[in-house]
A and B are shown apart, each in its own frame.
Chain A
Amino acid sequence: MAAASAESAIRTGRFTRVFLYLVLLLFALFYLLPFGIMVLNSLKPLSEITGGNMMALPQTWTLEAWRHAWSQAQIGVEPTGLRPYFWNSIKMVVPAVVISTMLGALNGYVLTKWRFRGDTILFGLMLFSCFIPFQIVLIPMARVLGVTGLAGSTAGLVLVHVVYGIGFSTLYFRNYYAAFPTELVRAAQIDGAGFFRIFWRILMPSSGPITVVCVIWQFTNIWNDFLFGASFADFDSQPMTVALNNLVNSSTGVKEYNVHFAGAIYAALPTLLVYIVAGRYFVRGLMSGSVKG
């Protein structure tokens, strides 16, 4: 990909190139500035923030705010820090991402390789879930969780996010598998492989890029979700985003900005990591199938 784009790129003069890089650098700085300030202030003692300049470098570098945010900050009733909520989020995100991705892959496989009457209409209906605003489903979903007895639990949140995630994951995999040669499926059928065997042995091993795209997308969305977490979680299943809100919005005591900054970075860290690790596949996967070769 990298080599191909270097070859196929339009040649530009040195001047335009420098100009381009300058503009890009400017934008990058602009976007990184808030994050930089967060990092700087999270490394200061509180007195430096309240008594001085937010933009200045710390005079005393300290990790105290980070430690405090992680394990001591007062969130809810107990001074537990963000740690338990971080694990709540992990316990919610990992199953939700895995299940919604698997179901999306399976849906895409059926919608392209085992076509049936009305499959395009069904796919169209599934796409609706990508466009329905979260707020609309709050009350029906609360009812469903109540009936199933999953209200206030991590499992309930997993269910909500899987239901919401299937639309997007199906869209991704359906479009990816549409370009996957059907002759391969037929060859596997003649070879004696069944429905799931073809899926596991033939399609899944070739689905790397789109799986990465789907995982990044689902992970980011589910991790960053606040509304469902705030609406459907109990104290012991609240995700990171809700805990961060409670930390920052606590109405008693001193506003510990350095702790808030550190907490916010904790909350953003996993999605950042996922992007850094898998980001290059993201672009590759999004583009795959759009052009030949």
Chain B
Amino acid sequence: MLTGDLVSVSGMEIVVKVGVNDQRFNRNQVKRIVLVEREAPAAATP
């Protein structure tokens, strides 16, 4: 099991950010993805 931030899923590849690095996986290597709820980033103050 791998824990990180799921960056993207495409037809061929899955990108997960673990620490500061992006790790790329063949889509067929991945069986299950559990997502956490994300908070929308706060608007930048001038």
Do A and B originate from a single complex?
no
Which residues on B are within 8 Å of A, measured CB to CB? Answer: none
